[in-house]
Amino acid sequence: MKYEAEEYDVAVIGAGHAGCEAALACARMGLKTVIFSISLECIANMPCNPNIGGTSKGHLVREIDALGGEIGKNADRSMLQSRMLNTSKGPAVYSLRVQSDRKKYHQDMKHVLELENNLDVKQAQIVDIEVIDDKVTAVVTQIGATYKTKAVILATGTYLMGRIYIGDVNYESGPDGVFPAKQLSDNLKRIGVELRRFKTGTPARVNKRSIDFSKMEEQFGDDEIIPFSFENKSYEKEQEKCYLTYTNEKTHQIIKDNIHRSPLYSGVIKGIGPRYCPSIEDKVMRFADKERHQIFIEPMGENTEEMYIQGMSSSLPEEVQIKIYHSISGLEHCEIMRPAYAIEYDCIDSTVLYPTLEHKKIPGLYFAGQINGSSGYEEAAAQGIIAGINAALKIKGREPLILDRSEAYIGVLVDDLVTKGTNEPYRMMTSRAEYRLLLRQDNADIRLTEKGHEIGLISDERYNQFINKKNNIEKEILRLKAYNVKPSEKVQEFLKKYNSSILDSGIKMSELLKRTEINYKILGEIDENRLELPRDVCEEVEIEIKYEGYIKIQKDQVDKFKHLEKKLMPKDIDYTKIKGISLEARQKLNNLKPVSLGQASRISGVSPSDIAVLLIYLEQYKGKKNNG
């Protein structure tokens, strides 16, 4: 029996990483918001590895923080170990990664939600989204409570028709044995949202006391802890150790002997799994020439003995899993506390969404996270904040926030999903970003803080601190470019000390800094006019000067890219009537309805010649419109 409950501006369904960011963004922008979770114990849950960041994912976290999101702050609060990855490569691919305390991450994020003004947190399963005249009007809980709303953000993760697989056994369930969302899938189909099945998996957890760490390689955190959030400064904390071990020939043989018992290989699992995070049986079968695979042993929290076995996700029967784990050095006597499992779930084809993450045919209905076909906490959180911001902006009657591929990894992520779609769980990678030298994690605040402030998610105090940092960077770069270094005895000795060519004549300090063997820190030995500047300012100055030439090339590429992005496509175009473009291009353009010529150019099946025809068509269209 239904009854009228409260009325909200925005209702967020799901309180994982996408839902939390979406709800906080809406509430902080002044909208009355409600977030629903099947269980409040699942808020910001980490059903897979409790880590935040990593290659390219760290970029997303920094960008979310620059826009005013929460994931970076929460990762800093719950950090067990912190490492900057890829430091042997260029700064474009440096990526921060932290191992988090799973319980603390959940508890802190839950508390943040509970304390937020304009935000109500409710434990309830949503079974119906009411749509009247093709617009979202309300959501209905399992017990009949009807909440009127102007917008709905779906962030259901892997709960929609979730089904767990462990060998021959499978059953309806969300992650960690929580109830799945069963009725909502049928409702989505009824209102015109098509669904498909994806699959992901997670390894076993084992008892720390049953592991022989003496047989493993220790993995330490960095001496200097760099925070994710630009609001936080460097800090000290005793870090937990992680460990590294490997599979072996015996491990691989056990898997091969039992591969027929894997639901992934027997055909029982129909959902498509992630290519870049395969199960251990997938690794062994697909990469038969590899003698071993890395296995990382990582803590789940400070107050638990559970350890996460990264690299060992599986859907094999539990008794086979035990044999596999016991074949690995250091895990010979490990006690499995939670077996590995695969999970299948419903998701959508994300090409039905605008870049705002709003459904093209159902105004007011937004989608974020794994329901869009992505994988990963960071990808989910990035979509969550974008969906939340845009839902709020639309209700307020303001222009949407659309980050393009030259502005942010978030822009690449969203554009890939809504333009190209994905046939498997989408994972962010640095190789997906064409302008990655410009989209570094260190300069995420410089790229996006102003946007966050304009939206209303960055406080005036934080914005003023950002402006001060930006000014310090600009002043220091100008000073180094103007500072003439003479070939004095002190300077020549300095250059010899660091195996750098001595000077024949004067040189600008900035030119010295461009030398591979010279960095900003050691230049202080001959820089008599240097001021004490914060670490992040020094880092930015060094990167901007060292890579100045490459950065300029990418900026020129971006200018050309922007030219097409600025050419907006009218929403009422019927591409089937445009002569000169291929049949495939007509069909895909009509289905996807790109917002710009740039987006149209990235649709698979749309050729450069099709874009040339569209360019002419746009000019004619504008001419007709101007002439009445």
Q: What is the CATH number of the domain that holds 264?
A: 2.40.30.260
In-domain check, residue 370: yes
Residue 394, pLDDT score: 98
CATH number of the domain within which 601 lies: 1.10.150.570
Residues 87 and 227 in one domain: no
3-state secondary structure of 524: coil
Residues 68 and 153 in one domain: yes
Alpha-carbon distances, residue 270 vs 124, 201, 273, 344, 403 (angstroms): 29, 14, 9, 8, 34
In-domain check, residue 66: yes
Residues 417 and 427 in one domain: yes
Alpha-carbon distances, residue 21 vs 13, 32, 124, 382, 419 (angstroms): 12, 15, 19, 8, 23
Residue after which a domain boundary falls, among 421, 455, 489: 455
Query: DSSP character for 520?
Result: H
Residue 580, pLDDT score: 86
Q: What is the pTM of this model?
A: 0.94
Residues 191 and 225 in one domain: no
In-domain check, residue 512: yes
In-domain check, residue 352: yes
Residue 605, pLDDT score: 86
Using CB atoms within 10 A of its CB, is residue 72 exposed (0-12), middle (13-18) or buried (19+)? Answer: buried
Cα separation of 319 and 339, whole Å?
10
Number of domains the chain contains: 4
| CB 198, CB 272: distance < 8 Å | yes
Residues 578 and 434 in one domain: no
Lookup: tokens for 377: 């906490």
Residue after which a domain boundary falls, among 524, 550, 576: 550
In-domain check, residue 380: yes
Residue after which a domain boundary falls, among 313, 344, 375: 344
Cα separation of 345 and 196, whole Å?
8
Cα separation of 44 and 222, whole Å?
26
Residues 529 and 598 in one domain: no
Residues 227 and 257 in one domain: yes
Residue 76, pLDDT score: 97
Q: What is the mean pLDDT of each run of 10 residues along the chain (628 residues)?
A: 93 98 98 98 96 96 98 97 93 95 98 98 97 95 97 97 95 92 95 94 96 97 95 88 97 96 83 77 90 96 97 95 98 97 96 96 97 97 98 98 96 96 92 94 97 98 97 97 94 95 94 95 93 94 95 92 87 86 88 89 88 86 67
In-domain check, residue 465: no
CATH number of the domain within which 491 lies: 1.10.10.1800
Cα separation of 161 and 572, whole Å?
36
In-domain check, residue 604: yes
Residues 224 and 301 in one domain: yes
In 91-232, alpha helices (H) = 102-115, 183-190
Residues 426 and 510 in one domain: no
In-domain check, residue 267: yes
Residues 297 and 363 in one domain: no
Residues 300 and 435 in one domain: no
**Residues β-bridged to residue 358:** 366
R_g of the chain, CA atoms, integer Å:
26
- Containing structural domain, residue 10: 3-199+345-455
Residues 335 and 350 in one domain: no
Lookup: tokens for 480: 């180094």
